[in-house]
């Protein structure tokens, strides 16, 4: 099964200095080797946003170019809006990007690899599959 890797996971692996033995980095590396990683444009944008150095920006952009974007369809945006409304009805707030990630994953039958605890709250009301480290 393909896996949408959330911004927080990529950040730990690409933008921050972390020990190579980190379980998250090892798991991401395995997913990449298995060809299971899926990228979407909003995650790419989040990763590239806020980088002050032009050199760092170009390097990260080049690294991410190995992962083509899954096209986002009108259905995904509609599902994201529906997910936003469902969660809001239950008092759960989230970002538009988070709900778009949830929608794409749900519509494409993919898991989401994240350490963002908000997704655990969304999962109570949405048909999500969160990736678990093995």
Which CATH number characterizes residue 96's domain?
3.40.50.1010
Count structural domains, the chain. 1
Alpha helices in the chain (DSSP H): 7-10, 23-33, 41-48, 54-64, 74-89, 96-107, 118-123
Considering Cα of 82, then 67, then 111, then 26, what sign does the dihedral take? negative
Give pLDDT tens digits for 48-102.
Answer: 998 989 999 999 999 999 999 999 999 999 999 999 999 999 999 999 999 999 9
Whether residue 33 has pLDDT greater than 90: yes
Supply the pLDDT for residue 22: 85
Residue-range definition of the domain harbouring residue 107: 1-134
Read off the pTM. Answer: 0.93
């Amino acid at each position: 099964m393909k896996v949408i890797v959330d911004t927080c996971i990529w950040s730990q692996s690409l933008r921050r200095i972390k020990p190579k033995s980190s379980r998250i980095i090892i798991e991401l590396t395995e997913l990449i080797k298995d060809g299971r990683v899926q990228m979407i444009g909003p995650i790419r944008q989040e990763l590239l946003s806020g980088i002050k150095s032009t050199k760092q920006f170009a390097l990260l952009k080049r690294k991410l170019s190995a992962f083509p974007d899954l096209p986002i369809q009108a259905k995904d945006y509609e599902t994201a809006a529906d997910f936003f409304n469902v969660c809001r009805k239950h008092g759960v707030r989230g970002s538009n990007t988070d709900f778009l990630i949830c929608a794409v994953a749900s519509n494409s039958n993919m898991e989401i690899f994240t350490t963002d605890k908000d997704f655990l709250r969304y999962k109570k009301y949405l048909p999500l599959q969160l990736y678990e480290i093995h």
